[in-house]
Amino acid sequence: MKNLKKISIFFVAAAIAMSFAPSLMADRVTDTFDITVTGEFLWIDITNSSWDLGNVAMSSSTWTNETGITFIADMDNCTVTTDLKLQITGDGADWTSAAGAASPDADTYRLNASTDIWAADDDQVLATGTMTVSSSIPADENESFDLRFDAPTSTTVSTGQSITVTATVAKS
Domains and CATH numbers, the chain: 45-171 (2.60.40)
For residue 118, the model assigns a pLDDT of: 81
Q: Measure the CA–CA gap between 100 and 159, rounded to whole angstroms.
A: 26
Mean pLDDT of the chain: 85
What's CA 76's distance to the chain center, in Å? 9
97 and 126 in contact (C-beta within 8 Å)? yes
For residue 65, the model assigns a pLDDT of: 85
**Torsion, Cα of 53, 49, 44, 73 (10° steps):** 40
For residue 2, the model assigns a pLDDT of: 58
For residue 99, the model assigns a pLDDT of: 72
Edge-to-edge strands of the sheet including 82-90? Answer: 131-137, 82-90, 164-171
Kindly write down the DSSP assignment for every residue of 74-124, as one continuous string.
E-TT--S-EEEEEEEEE--SS-EEPPTTPPPBBTEEEEEEESSTTTTS--E
Element (H, E) at 25: helix 2-26
Give the residue ranges of the chain where pLDDT is below 50.
none
Question: What DSSP character marks residue 159?
Answer: S
